Structure 1
Amino acid sequence: MRRKITNLLALAVLATLVERPMHPYEMASLMRERGKEHDMEIKWGSLYRVVENLTKHGFIAAVQSERQGGRPERTVYRITDAGRAELVDWTRELVAVPDRGPAPFTAGLSVLGVLSPDAVVEALGQRADGLAAEIAATEQALAGWAAEVPRVFLVEREYELAMRRAELAWVRSLRAEITEGTLPGLADWRTYHEEG
């Protein structure tokens, strides 16, 4: 039975090392260049500890150490067969199994009643504006990348775009229910905030 890895930085390291052996600084540079911190929660300060743990468990192995000029010695790592198998299994699981982890927006919605309806309308308007700007930026980036990058390497951005569009539609819908007065329980909510 495989060890369950929960640190997504480990996934990013394994996926990066599939390309070629490299040292941790090079891994981090390549992941940053590709915007991996937008795809998954990454704590860059733990990169060397993650590399150490992956090595300890046999998923990657040191292949050489190199020194350039007066810089400190850098160890180059490669992915092992066990690491490739773990990467494939883990990716399959992430794609196949729905995740119901809590999101900050969901947490805010769960206590929405502490704000007045007017404050919620304002906050949802701000969120809608932010989402619309993100959507436009992602659409523009995708259009630029589509000519140069195979689609399989852009599907996470397509998914992000679809989720943002769905969220924007939902936020606008809830905002409209409040502003048009069609949200069930709205009168009681207003009374609570007006009278305490």
Structure 2
Amino acid sequence: MMILGLVKWMQPVHGYDVRRELLSWNADKWANVQPGSIYHALRKLTEEGLLRAVATEQVGGRPARTTYEVTPKGEDEFDGLLRGHWWQVEDTADPFAAAFSFLPAMPREEAAAALRNRAIQLRARVDWMRASLDSNWLRETKPVHVGWMFELWSARAEAEVAWCERIAERIEAGVSYLPAGLERAEGWSGWQERLPDRPFDAK
């Protein structure tokens, strides 16, 4: 959606300018758009009929530059993606959530320390975003809604800081990882024995 939207906004536009704009937004950090994939994405969108190449020019010994614009089909696709993301809450991949699902594999002391370290890193991000919100740089060089995005990211980070500290305290206090009502002495093997048979385990 990002590349399609930028072409729609800047058209007619070279791929180089799309890449430069995305880099200025740091989109690789929050929109899953990698700089090295932009030219490939432009070609793919063109093959799918969402963009069209309107000109190709070459100056001196520099690589040829293709100018793109959005097709009517691309307009419809962008509008659908835009409104879909506005109106729907979607799950996003979170590597930390994947790692946290294996919490019992971590020694308690290390798990608690890692969570507190995560809180420190997140708090540093919050401090940077708050400083940015108070800066002339943001007020004078960015649209107002960019500041609102910073507020969103800051709120999310602050919530995770509180969660990290809360869970670290529980881990340090020795709260059992086992389901409620299960004797701790039984351990993980006892828990697994109580689980219902799974179809793919049957022989």
TM-score (norm 2): 0.78
What secondary structure does 2:13 align onto? Answer: coil
2:175 match: secondary structure: coil
Structure 2: distance between partners of 1:88 and 1:130: 36
Q: State the distance in 2 between where 1:165 and 1:143 align.
A: 17
Tell me the C-alpha RMSD between the 2 structures: 2.3
Q: Does 1:78 align with 2:69?
A: yes
Cα distance, 1:43–1:99 mapped onto 2, change above 3 Å: same
1:167 is paired with a residue whose SS is helix
Percent identical pairs in the alignment equals 25
- 1:7-66 residue CA offsets vs partner (Å, 9 max, x unmatched): xxxx12112112222111121111101111122112333222211121122211112122
Structure 1 residue 182: deviation in Å? 6.7
The 8 Å contact of residues 14 and 83 in structure 1, kept in 2 or not, is answered as yes
Quick check: 1:62–1:78 contact (8 Å CA) kept in 2? Answer: yes
Tell me which stretches of 4 or more aligned residues in structure 1 moved more than 4 Å: none
Over 3 Å counting, the alpha-carbon distance change for 1:184 and 1:65 in structure 2 is same
Partner of 1:178: 171
Larger Rg: 2
User: In structure 2, what is the equivalent of residue 130 of structure 1?
Assistant: 121
Q: Where do 5+ consecutive residues of structure 1 fail to align?
A: 1-10
The answer on 1:66 being equivalent to 2:18 is no
Q: How many angstroms does 1:147 deviate by?
A: 4.3
Aligned to 2:195: none
Match of 1:15 among 5, 28, 31: 5
Match of 2:81 among 74, 90, 105: 90
Contiguous gaps of at least 5 residues in structure 2 = 179-183, 189-203
1:1-196 alignment, distance < 5 Å: 11-20=1-10, 21-144=12-135, 145-179=138-172, 181=173, 183-184=175-176
Q: Deviation per CA, 1:80-107: give whole Å up to 9, x if none.
A: 2322221121011122222223411111
Helix, strand or coil for the counterpart of 1:69? coil
Number of matched pairs:
179
CA distance in 2, matches of 1:156, 1:80: 29
| Closer, same or farther: CA 84–155 of 1 in aligned 2, 3 Å | farther
Distance change (3 Å), C-alpha of 1:76 and 1:185? closer
The farther-off stretch of 149-158 and 73-82 is: 149-158
CA distance in 2, matches of 1:102, 1:57: 26
Paired with 1:107 and 1:17, the residues of 2 have a C-alpha distance of 35
- Counterpart CA distance in 2 for 1:158 and 1:89 is 26
**8 Å contact 1:39–1:156 — kept in the other structure?**
no
Q: Does structure 1 retain, via aligned residues, the 8 Å contact 2:115–2:164?
A: yes
1:67/1:121 CA distance change after superposition, 3 Å: same
